[in-house]
Amino acid sequence: MLASLGLFVFTLSTIPYQAKETSRSWRHSGSARVGMIESNQFTGPDNATVTISGTLHPELTGGLITISLLERMADTGAAWPYIKGTGEVVGLYVIKDIKYTESNILFHGRPRQIDFSMTLREVEDIDLIGEITSALSFDLSGALKTAGQKINSTISSLLS
Alpha helices in 86-137 (DSSP H): 126-135
Q: How far apart are CA 160 and CA 152, in angstroms?
A: 12
Alpha helices in the chain (DSSP H): 64-76, 126-135, 140-159
Asked if residues 3 and 15 have their Cβ atoms less than 8 Å apart, the reply is no
| pLDDT, tens digit, 9 for 90 and up, residues 127-143 | 655 444 454 454 555 55
Q: How far apart are CA 1 and CA 74, in angstroms?
A: 21
Q: How far apart are CA 140 and CA 29, in angstroms?
A: 44
What residues are paired with 56 via a beta bridge? 114
CA dihedral 82, 79, 77, 110 (to 10 degrees): 10
pLDDT band at residue 148 using 50, 70 and 90 as cut-offs: low
- Three-state secondary structure call for residue 86: coil
88-93: list long-range contacts, CB under 8 Å, 24+ apart. 90/50, 91/48, 91/122, 91/124, 92/122, 92/123, 92/124, 92/125, 92/128, 92/129, 93/5, 93/50, 93/120, 93/121, 93/122, 93/123
| pLDDT, tens digit, 9 for 90 and up, residues 72-129 | 999 988 899 999 999 998 989 999 999 999 999 888 888 999 999 999 999 987 665 5
